[in-house]
Structure 1
Amino acid sequence: MVLFVYVDYSNVWIEGMRVSAVKKGLAPSTGEAMRDRITDQTWRLDFGRLYSAVCPEDSQIGRSSLFGSRPPEDDSIWRVARERGFEVTVFDRNAFNKEKGVDMEMGAQILDDSYQHMRSERGDRLVLVSGDQDFLPVVRRLADRGIKTTAVFWDHAAATNLKTGVDAFAPLDPLFAYITH
């Protein structure tokens, strides 16, 4: 089995800041943190540990890609990701400071890789580190071709239909302390 791993970093980080806000008492629940846009701006994700959690040492990795918004110049996450073997794709934010293009680029890359490199007969698996329901069409196309999928994301922010549409869902919540830097 070969794992093909695709990470939507911005969403992992933003929702992790919400979980941290609840843990620090800044919000009573993740639902209220989402509704009221409450985050713990001091929370930092340990990308190396996230990588270890979704790419166990004994796994063969076919491709690992990290997607997100252009970070500040002094942000080391992208360097660490590259050192871990991730291909990094960054996007500039638009005039309204919104991230655009990430989901579409991730989906396009996943589908390209599925036809060029993934093989159902050897049990290859997509590991999608995102909870966005926009990935359902991609997941369904992979399922039609016998390629298994796992979604890994924060439980409160993962779309229910994505959780049920993949072969396996693994919440990040139990790993909070482990992946916190």
Structure 2
Amino acid sequence: MDSTHASSLTFTRTSPSTSSADLLALSQEISRLSTIFNEQEFTQKNKAELRKFFTVEVTQRKDILDLISTLTNDREKLNYLKEFLTGIFLKLLFIFANNTEYLLILVLFFPASYPQTRPKNTFTLSYIIQLLESLVVAKSPDNSVSIFIDNSNLFIEGAKIVGQLENVPDVYSNSRSDIEFYVDHGLLVTTVLRGRKLRNAFIIGSIPSENDTLWARARDHGCEVTTYERNASNKEKKADVKLVCYAMRTLFTKTGSTILIIAGDGDYCPLVEEAKKENWKVETWFWDGSNLPLFPTGMNAGLKNISSYVSLDDYYKSFTYITGPDFTNNKSILEIHGNVIKSWPFRNKRLMVCFCELNLFGRWYWVDDTTAYLYFESKRQLDSARSWFRRNYPGMLLYDFKQKQMGRRNSFGIQKEKL
């Protein structure tokens, strides 16, 4: 039979008291379609599952009645009914039909999914369904993690907390340009995954200076990066909204798993609430610092209460480091020197491997392209690092320093002996 055969049935929105009539009408339409299409396209199991679903889901069957009433092509009706068997298409239809702002986000931020040619009445129900259908991804549930990072939120509060934890006042006060705090995003992602599978990772942040390799390193680790110019208040315009849009796209086009947000702003509470409604597990990772003398902004209490919260304070050594000279005159210093350093594409990353494997906080100062001073809290730590470099870089020159402070103008004077 011709699959474009038009149904003579007319469906209208009914009240809850006539829900049994809705179910009967749907059952009749399923039976009618089954006489048009062969068993391979519309099996007895399909029909049974649909009837069972709509028997329980009263609200959803009213929505599908409205949908089918806009269609005259039986092939389209069959395809839309079969989409409900995935459990994803219905979710999208129901959410977008009842939340106009989500549809606007879809059109504004994901234009690739928006057809180039469209009917004059763009926002008819059937056209919205067509738009949503292009985004449906029917996959089996898994234990993967989708990560969303608000970099400025992470960085600003991290500098305050790590600067105090490592007793580097110039970092938490931001008083010197030659002493800098860094976050290694690849190591951060590895830290928060805790052995789980990464589905995707998104970072929102400001545009760095031309010679800054921050975002190049992040992209190298598989993160999708979006950057914005800062405004007069030193804030990224649109950053929070864009992060929410990335997250919402994942919620509505992927099967439920875990969404992990690295941010502490209370503006993300609605996102967490929506994710939980969609049966996603939600983790938030952010700085705490509640026991530090100079208390930073820290984690928003509301966001913390509605999610599974983990403090970054307990893991900072695995993904942060500080570069620049030390003026405390109480560090054990190891100088590393060698032309091999010039071949390192991201030289800070190589040093972090050493510190992470030794479970130490990374701090160093680059003298030039082939020489760095590595700072340690004790001679024992220095000896461990020296052994590490001898194993991994046998030809590198290593020197042990006895630091003698000479004033801040010249950073420091040194007496060194070859090891």
TM-score (norm 1): 0.84
Within 5 Å, give how 1:1-181 maps onto structure 2: 1-23=143-165, 24=167, 26=169, 38-39=173-174, 42-56=180-194, 58-117=195-254, 119-120=255-256, 124-156=257-289, 157-166=298-307, 168-181=308-321
SS of the aligned residue for 2:315 comes to helix
TM-score (norm 2): 0.38
Deviations 1:19-44 (A, max 9, x none): 133232639xxxxx7xxxx3475222
Q: Which runs of 4+ in 1 moved over 4 A?
A: none
Q: Which has the higher contact order (CA 8 A, sep 6+)?
A: 1
The 1-side partners of 2:320 and 2:198 are apart by 24
Structure number with bigger Rg: 2
**Matched residue type, 1:76:** T
Shift of 1:125: 0.3
The 2-side partners of 1:151 and 1:42 are apart by 26
The 2-side partners of 1:43 and 1:147 are apart by 33
C-alpha contact 2:228 2:237 (8 A) present in aligned 1: yes
C-alpha contact 1:20 1:39 (8 A) present in aligned 2: no
Shift of 1:113: 1.2
**Matched residue type, 1:94:** N
CA RMSD of aligned residues (A): 1.8
Report how many residues are paired: 166
C-alpha contact 2:251 2:278 (8 A) present in aligned 1: no
